[in-house]
Chain A
Amino acid sequence: MMHPLAIFMAADQSALRPAGPQSAHIHWLWDVMLWVSVAVYAIVMIILLAGAWKRRKATDPTPLTDSKLEQYIVAGVAVSTLILFGLLAASVAVGKATSDLDPRNGITVKVTGYQWWWRVEYVHPDPQQYVTTANEIHVPVGKPVTVVLTGADVIHSFWAPNLHGKRDLIPGQQTSLVLRADKPGVYRGQCAEFCGLQHAHMAFEVVAESQEQFDAWYSNQVKEAVAPQTPEQIRGQQVFLSHACVMCHTIRGTEAAARTGPELTHLKSRATIAACTLPNERGQLGGWISNPQSIKQGVRMPPNPLAPDELSALLGYLESLK
């Protein structure tokens, strides 16, 4: 059996391993600031230690003159000012470079932050091609992706450090950033603005894949949910539609069309559930449905005390939603 944490180990989350041009800029700035600070620290410590080592004899009668003291202070202030202005210039240049990516010929993804998960929508001029999913953002490698961000309840912040810096999601307002993944891989991101009780369990994954893989994924997401085949799946769909599930979730192709919780049309195509809190496996999903409060206390999903055969059928149905 797969180790329960294997899924999280697979996803990379580090600003020190940039996978796109913007994060490379930010990484460069991080390097510059680190090494300048290291150098300044080292020089100051050397001067300090040298001063302590070569201390004047207590009997030395000549005090340091005011003019000499002044020279030292002026020199110190001048050097510090120059270095700080240098860092400021580097910071402004990086800020400009990270926001300079040309969004043309790319795709647009709308991300809405909820307590405590992410709604992901692929904006398409043809409504038939509009895709909604949750907590997992697929992007084609090498193509610019405009991420349009807004918050549904409180302020959240979108942060996938391998790809870009942070950007706040503000209710009633739209912000955006353009990112590009140059290396295929799974990059983990998370909410970077404290947004309530389960802020720590509000993560997402950016899956960067080749254009062909992305197209295949997209054309599957566009489809309606597969109809239940086996008697168990048919029963599971009935359980879904006749219990609390239907009050919050959408499964396209059925009567479930509520938009309070994440869309489940292709639930099984996602690697995780509960905003990257659990791997998307039958046992984990069953535990989550039965009592989400024991896993992610305070989450908006209520406990669902289903009969064992009902839960089993429901899981059978949900597992078929590929």
Chain B
Amino acid sequence: MFFRFLNPALLMMLLLASGCEREQRRFDEPTAASAPVDSIRMTPQQPGPMTPVPATKAPYSENAYALNEGKRLYSAYNCEGCHFLGGGGMGPALMDDKWIYGSDPANIFETIVQGRPNGMPSFGAKIPRYQIWQLVSYVRSMSGLAKSDIAPNRNDSMQARPAEAMTKPEHPKQ
């Protein structure tokens, strides 16, 4: 009698346990978080034959908590002051497929750290590295470049656009 119930119960527990790792929240980040790689390129053009550029991966691109933190920081640090909720205003839109300075996580990281001409301030000295990476992952999710089970599901206040998790992935163009 006991063993008849054991297997389904065990299976259920294993199934639930499989969801554990994703929501790991890390609060105490190493202070010297990984710096971007030297291979960052602002343009696809190269002298001579084309060599492929390895795509980088943001440290938190697989972590739902980090993406939600990115979403919170996006308004806390007033990104929405210029980029609005992704549709753009004073600054370019972030929910479309156009990336002036590259869609690769390392490119976005450098754009936030260094700033860019015509208005994008340099945030490097003012925001901890790990928060910039959280912002990078969130910014990518705005155009559907994050997994839908990782991207934020809803806004806390104004529902000005579909949730990031519902956004269809764009195909970034340089």
Contact = CB atoms under 8 A, between A and B. Distances in A.
Interface of A: 153, 171-172, 242-244, 246-248, 258, 260, 291, 293-294, 297-298, 300, 302-305
Contact of B125 (A243, A302, A303): A243
Nearest to B129: A302
Contacts of B157: 171-172
A248 B127 contact: no
Interface string B70-103: 0010001110000000000000000000000000
Contact of B28 (A243, A247, A294): A294
Interface residues of B, number: 17
A300 B127 CA distance: 13
Contacts of A291: 28
B156 A244 contact: no
Contacts of B29: 302-303
Residue from B125, B126, B130 having most chain A Cβ neighbours under 10 A: B126
Interface of B: 25, 27-29, 31, 72, 76-78, 125-128, 130-131, 156-157
Determine the main DSSP class of B at the interface with A: loop
Pick the 5 closest A-B CB pairs, nearest first: A305-B31, A260-B76, A302-B128, A293-B27, A293-B28
Given A171-B156, A172-B157, A248-B76, A298 B126 contact: no
Determine the main DSSP class of A at the interface with B: loop
A82 B142 CA distance: 62
B113 to A, nearest CB: 13
A113 B161 CA distance: 26
A247 B25 contact: no
A172 B157 CA distance: 8
A298 B27 contact: yes
B131 to A, nearest CB: 6
A303 B31 contact: yes
A59 B173 CA distance: 98
Contact of A302 (B25, B72, B131, B156): B131
A297 B26 CA distance: 10
A247 B126 contact: yes
B156 A247 contact: no
A244 B126 contact: yes
A243 B123 CA distance: 10
Contacts of B127: 244, 247
Contacts of B31: 303, 305
A260 B80 CA distance: 14
A230 B129 CA distance: 32
Contacts of A304: 128
Contacts of A303: 28-29, 31, 128
Contacts of A305: 31
Given A244-B126, A303-B31, 15 more contacts: A153-B156, A171-B157, A172-B157, A244-B127, A244-B128, A246-B126, A247-B77, A260-B77, A291-B28, A294-B28, A297-B27, A300-B72, A300-B76, A302-B29, A303-B29
